[in-house]
Amino acid sequence: MEQVFQAPDCVWRQALLAATKGDLPHAPEGVISLGAVFRLALTVDEGRHASTKHAYPLRSNFLRSRVDAWIDRVSLARSAYETLRANANGENENAPKKRLQALGAELKHAQEDLTAFFDECEACLIVGTYLASEHASCADYLVFALAHGLARSKICGKDLLEKRPGLCRWLSTISASCGTVKSAFGVDEAYLSSTLGSLEGGKDWCVEAPKPPAKPKKEQQQGKKKDKKDKKGGQSNFASLAALSSVSAAQADDEPAADKKPAADKKPAGDKKPAGKEKPAAAAAGGAKAEEEEDPVKKAKKDRKKAEKEAKKAKMLAKKAKREAEEAAKKAKGASGGKSKKEKKAEEAAAKKRKQLEEEEATLRFLDSQPKGSKKKIDEVKIQSYSPRIVEHSWYAWWEKEGFFTANNKHTKGKTFTIVIPPPNVTGTLHLGHALTDSIEDTIVRWKRMSGYEALWVPGTDHAGIATQTVVEKKLMREKGLTRHDLGREKFLEEVHAFARDKKSTILNQIRRLGSSVDWTRERFTMDDDLQLAVKEAFCRMFEKGLIYRDARLVNWCCHLNTALSDIEVDYIDVPGRTMLSVPEHDDQVEFGCITSFAYPLEDGSGEIVVATTRIETMLGDTAVAVHPKDPRYTHLHGKFLKHPVNGRRIPIITDAILVDMEFGTGAVKITPAHDPNDFATGQRHNLEFINVFDDNGLLNGNGTGQFEGMKRFVARTKIVEFLQEKGLFRGKADNEMRLGLCSRSKDVIEPMLKPQWWVNCKEMGADAVNVVRNGELKIVPKDYEKTWFFWMENIRDWCISRQLWWGHRIPAFYVQVEGDEEGGIPGRNSEKKDRWVVGRTEEEAMANAKAKFPGKEIKLIQDEDVLDTWFSSGLFPFSSFKWPRETDDLKAFFPTQLLETGHDILFFWVARMVMMSRCLMGVLPFKEVFLHAMVRDAHGRKMSKSLGNVIDPLDVIRGITLEGLHKTLMGGNLDPKEVEKAKEGQKQDYPEGIEECGTDALRFALVAYTSQGRDVNLDVKRVVGYRHWCNKLFNALRYAMMNLGEAYVAPDEIRPQDLSLSCKWILSRLNQAIASTVKAMDEYQFTQATTAIYAFWQYDLCDVFIELVKPVMASGSDAEKKATRDTLWACLEVGLRLLHPFMPFLTEELWQRLPKNADYAKEFPSITIAPYPKCAEEFVDQSLVDRMAYSGVVVNKIRSLRATYGLVSNKQQPDVFLLCEPESKAKLDGLESYVATLSVSGSVRCVTDAKEIPEGCGVAPVDSGVVAYVVLTGLVDPEGEIKRLEKKLKECEAGRQKLEKRMSLPEYAKTPDKFKAEDNEKIANFKSEEANLAQAVDGFRAMLAKPKEQKQQQAEKGGKPEPKPSKEEAAPEPKAAESEEAPRPRAESSGFLKVGEKMVMKGDVKKKSTGFFSFTSQARTLVLTDAPRLLYMEGTETRGEFGRVLSCMMKSDSAFVIKSDQKERIIETPDAKAWTEAIAKHYKL
């Protein structure tokens, strides 16, 4: 979180503290008080500290224009809900019917408002993680608190959130940062806990309608069908509330059934009661008497109401019939070939899209026709909008052909930068995790290359022994029904090589599409001949040094894969107690998490010893039972023997104080040396027999297993228990918490097995790896991972490097068989002899070593069948890539490398191995720095998994893909059919419409922007789409610039600051500050900060500000001003593109090539790829000017906010602005008034120091303590309405001041620290200042009302002849005819809405309904169109609403049309729909 939001003087912070600590005026709990919070934050002294960059939220206009209205609607909805609920429960029986109907309408409108608000929040959060800035701010926590208020008030439910993943993700993110909220803002812990509880608890989010009173039986039967329908479809919370409204209205309107007796002539025939039916019980008790005694007046009233109801129902049915007739007519028209306007519009849009696609396809065909590797002909590629397919076409092939990525080992630059790619496995294709790695590494490499380094990025792929062999074996079985043993080793390896070549080709194509600037002339594969030679050399050297040795030790054995695994290839899960789990190769689930007790009888039959185990099947390999030497229970049994119940084996009772704990269990421990790590050590101490009872497949072998021989290990587990029960030796089971080891590849349960294997002694190498980090020789970034490094390396155990596979580097070790020696043993079995092994780089070298070891004997060599662990060859990659062990020029020039960039998940798998092996074999570190990036997760924070359907090919994001296409990517893999269906559901939920085409640049920028040190990346593809739109903005910015530069423009040789205007000086200052920030961030691997600096320059400085300031100069500036502005614009674009290039290589190359450049410069640097990276030019940095422009930006935002407050949304409405300034503030704004006017869409801006210079009738808003903005509103707003609004605001301000003064007057206030007293005094001063400004504004509007209308008319016409003064009967001037028709004259009572000189065009009664944010009741109103143009709603004599900037107006039907503005969308029902549509379109020039 940014430090600025932690500052105690941040207004958002003060508002949040006020909300959580109750420092606001008294208001009901929940929503209304939070409304006061927002008004406090948005209006009271908001800009006082806004000169700080982020103290003024970047999207605060969004909050301003939505939140106030939202809060008001929620407040009304809450009140309506409470009343309806009370009525439904019988607590408010006398509520009027109209009141209940009005409350029901309020609920409906609140639903529309909230839904629209959530939609806009969702749209905001699609392109941004937070509401107000790039980081979590107080604004987020205020809205978060408001969401809590909604939950507690039973207004908002999960149904409004479940389809909005961005909003849900934001709620989860803010919830998770509760510690940050508490520490940064001092939020009350109880309040925060309540907030989080409401968000997490399902009940608080779901509002169920209270049950209405029981209906008569007949009504219940009639309602069954409807109830079933409702249950089937489900109801949202608002639907439940609407049900309350209907129930309540029914209670208020209708009497019980027994009291109703409609006239026979009015009751429909279908509603007649069948003869013989009895009345309900209530009617039978007293219905007749009630009818006789009923008041005739009341009866007449009831009859009248019923008649009205019937008439209303008939009208509704008539409407329905009319609608159905219209629909039928439309269908008939469609069947006869006619098309509706909507269909025509859709067809036009589709045709436009087709035309655009056809143009793109034509351009692509042209580009495809060009020779591969040729430079793109920019002049012949005409595109009107950004298209990733066209922009990214051809550039990479040209870069590769020109050798821009090829490093020179005879370089003369004096400095190199080398990095090797983490070689991806050839098991499949790259996913977004690989894309993150490549994006970060390419960004670094391109930056270094442009910064003058001889940059080399070595590409490569890894053979991935276990993973690839497993995939190919499954493929063979699926396609051919064969195993690898059916094919034989040679044929199987041919299949694997073919599979690897195919996948490798796909992977290399993906790397190219990602724009990775790797040196393809040095591409490597870990099974290449050069790398196989390096592996053999490394094994032999380490064997000769005594670091590699052969030994029979316990290994982690995977029975499914038939291979040993290293410790870090084993995943552990916690089993809390008895749990049934699925195990490969077993049909039934297996029980884990329990301990089984059984008895071993003494050999002489004198007793027994009870032992316990979690793996009862291993008892077949027991060779001893251990007790503690000091345990008095077993002293008399020391040295005696037990008898094994299965095979009769004599089992000695031994004493061992190391292994046995007397207090645990029975104090006796069974010993299975060949199947347990602890027992293995005990067996070595006591020289016990090591008996292996399992074969490689996990079946029980014949070593004393008796009748259980051939059984699967976990089948035998059950059978052995049954056997012990039969023998009377079973003593029970109990829950036992345990950790269960699983193979990370197959998920099979790991079996500790005694196997002869090759091992690496890691003790000394591990200690050395610790030292190089502690003394700073090796730097790990982020530094937090040093702790992980130390933990692993200080506790490192010897590394088992044998793998019982066929695919991989075969171990260069040979077993010597001596002729005539029958006891030589079998290699790979426990019978082998360790001294019979020799190693050699070739078989000839091994034979020579064998003859030297066994002189004078006839010998034969058998090469080890096993292969080396994949990480052994990968550990050599930084130097084997340069053809070590040969002394090549590449090895001398580029090793050691400078950086290793990879994911933190393989810190020990790969990074540690490279450090140890490089120090051992090369004597130096393989790299100087290690940067560990975060893991990529999906938008929900889940790990990428094929079974979840969230593993995405980066090319699918780049090119776009349909949902059906995503489903197809799941086919042909190794997923189980059930997992395929699960994955499809995940894809359907996350990508219901597939993935939009984003392009490489947007994907890269999004991935790098997400990269924050020490934090996982929750990647939402919608964010990538947002950056794709940003690419389009950059494309359009350059198009605009090229239009202003002109075809004859010549790039300048130099730009001198003294020749520039203030705006040009400012943008060049911001450019150089962005350069400095980016370079600093790149040096520190702070990629988020780098992308933020670049994005801010392009988006907020260049596009949003400078290009807007360029327009007036190009329109009316002098030639010198235009030349300086063009040169500055060119410099910003050219340098800005070079600044952005490492992050977005394709788009920047395309745009850079289109920019005019000096001929010598273009010849020296034909591509932006090799152009110099920008350096900060300090002479262009003017911090004072930057601060002044930032301050002017605060003023601009305040003026824009004030415009929005008064509904001035059209750019044609450009009122004059006066800024009442203190001298210091005036100095800041001196010379910037015209910029403020341009950016705030004002006619003019004047800074004054005397309030007398400000005209009457202004809207006022304080910017800070030094500036107050006055917007001249004469002729633009209704003075009477403004007086009411300002007076209300003035009262609120006075109330706030009085409350604070009251608190300060208390005796205990004297104990308040001086710091807080000073803050309170400052608040009092601000209150008074605002009160004075508000009072002045009120006086101005009153004076505006008091002036004669003739004078105002003269001022408006600037001296022209005034029109006659309106009489009392006329409230508006006599309107003149519009064109040839005479416009209708306004009614006398509705004269207040016209401006002076304004004419009415159309007027008529309409009905409307809301489809947008603001909402009104759907009743008859008057719609008025004037020639200003203005479009207003009137109700009687009052103006009820006005459209701002009308965006579109179209026919919906013959009797309705739709109007859209920037904040509203209305459906207007009127018989004159066509005339209204034409008039509005004409006057708004639509």
pLDDT higher than threshold 90 for residue 611: yes
pLDDT digits (tens, 9 = 90+) for 383-439: 888 999 999 999 999 999 999 999 998 876 678 999 999 999 998 888 888 999 999
- Give the closest residue to 1219 by CA, choosing from 1201, 1236, 1238, 1241: 1236
Output the pLDDT for position 498.
94
What is the rounded average pLDDT of the residues 1052-1058? 88
The Cα–Cα gap between 755 and 409 comes to 47
The one-letter amino acid at 161: L
For residue 903, what are the β-bridge partners? 933
pLDDT higher than threshold 70 for residue 921: yes
Output the pLDDT for position 1307.
87
Alpha helices, DSSP H only, in 976-1106?
A: 977-990, 1000-1010, 1021-1045, 1062-1083, 1087-1096
- Whole-Å CA distances, 566 to 392, 489, 543, 569: 44, 24, 19, 5
What is the rounded average pLDDT of the residues 1380-1397? 45
The Cα–Cα gap between 262 and 265 comes to 8
Range 488-492 contact pairs with CB under 8 angstroms and sequence separation of 24 or more: 489/806, 492/806, 492/807
pLDDT higher than threshold 90 for residue 336: no
- How big is the CA angle at 419 (ends 415 and 425), to the nearest 5 degrees? 165
What is the rounded average pLDDT of the residues 1091-1118? 92
The confidence band for 327, taking pLDDT boundaries of 50, 70 and 90, is confident
The confidence band for 273, taking pLDDT boundaries of 50, 70 and 90, is very low
pLDDT digits (tens, 9 = 90+) for 14-23: 555 554 444 4
* Structure tokens belonging to residue 558: 């995977």
What is the rounded average pLDDT of the residues 1132-1160? 95
pLDDT digits (tens, 9 = 90+) for 1357-1369: 544 444 444 433 3
Are 241 and 156 in contact, with CB atoms under 8 Å apart? no
- Whole-Å CA distances, 791 to 383, 787, 795, 907: 57, 6, 6, 12
pLDDT digits (tens, 9 = 90+) for 742-787: 998 788 999 999 999 999 999 999 999 999 999 999 999 999 889 9
What is the rounded average pLDDT of the residues 1089-1097? 94
Is the model more confident about 76 or about 880? 880
Output the pLDDT for position 645.
94
Range 250-254 contact pairs with CB under 8 angstroms and sequence separation of 24 or more: 251/87, 251/93, 251/212, 251/213, 252/87, 252/95, 252/96, 252/97, 252/100, 253/97, 253/305, 253/309
**Of 257-266, 1267-1276, 1385-1394, which gets the smallest average pLDDT?**
257-266
Contacts of 1120 (CB under 8 A, 6+ apart): none
Output the pLDDT for position 503.
92
**Of 215-219, 687-691, 1027-1031, 1130-1134, which gets the smallest average pLDDT?**
215-219
- Whole-Å CA distances, 1175 to 1071, 1139, 1407: 10, 9, 63
Output the pLDDT for position 95.
62
pLDDT higher than threshold 70 for residue 1040: yes
What is the rounded average pLDDT of the residues 978-989? 80
pLDDT higher than threshold 80 for residue 146: no
* Structure tokens belonging to residue 1474: 């066509």
Are 453 and 517 in contact, with CB atoms under 8 Å apart? no
Report the DSSP pairing between strands 641-643 and 624-627. unpaired
pTM over 0.85: no
Q: How does DSSP assign 357-397, residue by residue?
A: HHHHHHHHHHHHHSPTTPPP-GGG---SS--HHHHTTTHHH
**Of 436-445, 841-850, 946-955, which gets the smallest average pLDDT?**
946-955
Output the pLDDT for position 290.
41
For residue 602, what are the β-bridge partners? 642
The Cα–Cα gap between 872 and 16 comes to 56
Report the DSSP pairing between strands 738-743 and 524-525. unpaired
pLDDT higher than threshold 80 for residue 251: no
The confidence band for 953, taking pLDDT boundaries of 50, 70 and 90, is confident
The confidence band for 1437, taking pLDDT boundaries of 50, 70 and 90, is low
Is the model more confident about 145 or about 1041? 1041
The Cα–Cα gap between 85 and 247 comes to 10
pLDDT digits (tens, 9 = 90+) for 1301-1323: 988 888 888 888 888 888 889 88
Is the model more confident about 195 or about 1451? 1451
CB burial of 228-263 (b: ≥16 within 10 Å; e: otherwise) equals eeeeeeebbbbbbbbbbbebbbebbeeeebbeeeee
pLDDT digits (tens, 9 = 90+) for 832-856: 888 899 999 999 999 999 999 999 8
Output the pLDDT for position 398.
96
Range 1229-1233 contact pairs with CB under 8 angstroms and sequence separation of 24 or more: 1229/1188, 1229/1191, 1229/1192, 1229/1195, 1229/1267, 1231/1062, 1232/1062, 1232/1188, 1232/1189, 1232/1192
Output the pLDDT for position 444.
96
Highest mean pLDDT among 703-717, 979-993, 1195-1209: 703-717
Cβ atoms within 10 Å of 1469's Cβ, excluding its own: 16
The confidence band for 335, taking pLDDT boundaries of 50, 70 and 90, is low
Residue that has been written with the tokens 């390896």 in this structure: 493
The confidence band for 1278, taking pLDDT boundaries of 50, 70 and 90, is confident
For residue 670, what are the β-bridge partners? 625
**Of 278-287, 313-322, 742-751, which gets the smallest average pLDDT?**
278-287
Crossing angle (nearest 10°) for helices 11-21 and 138-152? 30
pLDDT higher than threshold 50 for residue 291: no
The confidence band for 253, taking pLDDT boundaries of 50, 70 and 90, is very low
Peptide bond into 584 cis (omega under 30): no
pLDDT digits (tens, 9 = 90+) for 448-495: 999 999 999 999 999 998 889 988 998 898 888 899 999 999 999 999
Output the pLDDT for position 17.
54
Output the pLDDT for position 119.
67
pLDDT higher than threshold 80 for residue 41: no
Output the pLDDT for position 1449.
84
What is the rounded average pLDDT of the residues 1132-1148? 96
pLDDT higher than threshold 60 for residue 51: no
Measured in whole angstroms, the distance separating CA 215 from the mean position of its chain's CA atoms is 50
pLDDT over 90 percentage in the chain: 41
Element (H, E) at 570: strand 570-575
For residue 598, what are the β-bridge partners? 611, 730
Output the pLDDT for position 54.
33
Whole-number average pLDDT of the chain: 78
For residue 579, what are the β-bridge partners? 592
Output the pLDDT for position 882.
95
